[in-house]
Amino acid sequence: MKEYFIQNAKDFIGEEVTLKGWAYNVRKSGKIWFLMLRDGTGIMQCVVTKFDADEDSFNIKDSITQESSVIVTGEVKEEPRSPGGYEMLAKKVELVSIAEEYPISLKEHGIDYLMDKRHLWLRSKRQHAIMRIRHTIIKSIRDFFDDRDFTLIDTPIFQQAATEGTATLFETDYFGEPAYLTQSGQLYGEAGAAAFGKIYCFGPTFRAEKSKTRRHLTEFWMVEPEMAYYDLDMNMDLAEAFVQYIVSQVLEHRRPELETLERDISILEGIQTPFPRISYTDAVKILQKNGVDFKWGDDFGGADETIISSQFKSPVMVHRYPAAIKAFYMKRDPENEEQVLALDMLAPEGYGEIIGGSQREDDIDLLIQRIKADGATEEDYAWYLDLRRYGSFPHSGFGLGLERVVTWLCGLKHIRETAPFPRTMTRLNP
């Protein structure tokens, strides 16, 4: 069976084909009407006249409404004046289902209204552009690691212990015992790195983020590579090559979508490796120089990240943070025991943190100290501590937040449009 899609129109010029989709818009003028047919891959103008179409087909103009489902057969020709550059001369139009009055018209609607109608809003040109860019980013994430011999290790969504602190855990009842939705696959990824050398996991992660911000979702996708015998510098080399690859793939394959979103493409084209690398201590100096009242030891807020990243055209990697503000599993800096071998990558233009990672603590005694300092017990992390008992090894990894990268590359003001059905503190529906 041969299928025809509007995005491939150039392959069937001059042929009579059948296209199946929905009425994006209808314009009528006497003996002729124009149907903008949307099939999910593009939009094609179909011209319906009494001469070329049969009478039943022609009369559909009286009942068709916006988003009615419709099948059209006719010849496709090049037409530079038509959107997309092609046009169909319709021979037959079949109405599959008449749509009720569509709640999203071509006029402007408020964001809350559109989010309530997300299941329909996804049909719009803008949402198409964002979802296609998201798709390309996901593909480039997988290709990057697959091409470098990383093994995919899927990590569990139900977990017993926290990875990124207890404050953002979603608790659920697991046959009478508490279980938590995963905040990160990392700890399991470390077991994977001991088994396979280089691994990655990629899936949904969950955080009970109790504040409303434009950067936080409660459910988001994270890709987490974990590499045996990588130190912090090797970890940063990989993170930099990875992000550069994603940017190059989006520029290569999604230019029309970036244009639809009116993204300033030249800024993305200006991104170049090597990315700048600065220590946390240097970042603090940048803030102080810019008049921010910031003390060594504090954590960066969104506004601080914007000031730091605005010094650079490419993403900047900030490394060696105070231990007190970072997770228990990060390796203590041998040069300064107040610090850990952490890295955060901040996107340019104020888009904030896109990567968090570190070299991991491989000394079991130091690790137990950090676990206890967090108020947890050795038993809580018994299997994880085994990885230090049976062949402990230097290793590193990081996590990249998919929706943060989509926000940045698409140039969006808010993260809520980056997921088909986003979850935030105030949204569980649709």
Residue 19 or 342: the one with the smaller Cβ distance to ligand 4AD is 342
On whether the CB atoms of residues 186 and 397 are closer than 8 A, the answer is yes
Tokens (6 digits) for 177: 């015992």
Distances from the Cα of 21 to the Cαs of 47, 75, 104, 364, in angstroms? 15, 16, 17, 60
Q: Rule CB under 6 A: is residue 163 a binding residue for ligand 4AD?
A: yes
Q: Rule CB under 6 A: is residue 70 a binding residue for ligand 4AD?
A: no
Torsion angle in degrees (nearest 10) through CA of 349, 203, 211, 243: -10
Interface with Mg ion (CB under 5 A), residue from 185, 189, 356, 397: 356
On whether the CB atoms of residues 347 and 354 are closer than 8 A, the answer is yes
| Residue whose token pair is 């964001």 | 111
Torsion 228-229-231-236 (CA) sign: negative
DSSP reduced 3-state for 255: helix
Q: Rule CB under 6 A: is residue 186 a binding residue for ligand 4AD?
A: yes
Interface with ligand 4AD (CB under 6 A), residue from 118, 128, 207, 331: 207
Alpha-carbon distance of 160 to 104, in angstroms, equals 44
Q: Rule CB under 6 A: is residue 401 a binding residue for ligand 4AD?
A: yes
Q: What is the DSSP letter of 157?
A: S
Strand partners, 49: 32
Q: Rule CB under 6 A: is residue 73 a binding residue for ligand 4AD?
A: no
Task: Indicate which of Mg ion, ligand 4AD, none lies near residue 263 (CB less than 5 to 8 Å, by partner kind).
Answer: none
Smallest separation (angstroms) from Mg ion to the CB of 168: 11
Nearest position to ligand 4AD, beta carbon: 356
| Strands 171-174 vs 151-152: parallel, antiparallel or unpaired | unpaired
Q: Which range touches ligand 4AD (CB under 6 A), out of 11-19, 74-82, 378-386, 394-402? A: 394-402
Q: Rule CB under 6 A: is residue 184 a binding residue for ligand 4AD?
A: yes
Task: Indicate which of ligand 4AD, Mg ion, none lies near residue 354 (CB less than 5 to 8 Å, by partner kind).
Answer: ligand 4AD
Smallest separation (angstroms) from ligand 4AD to the CB of 354: 5
The binding site for ligand 4AD (CB under 6 A) comprises: 163-164, 184, 186, 207, 209, 216-217, 220, 222, 224, 353-357, 397-399, 401, 403-404
The binding site for Mg ion (CB under 5 A) comprises: 356
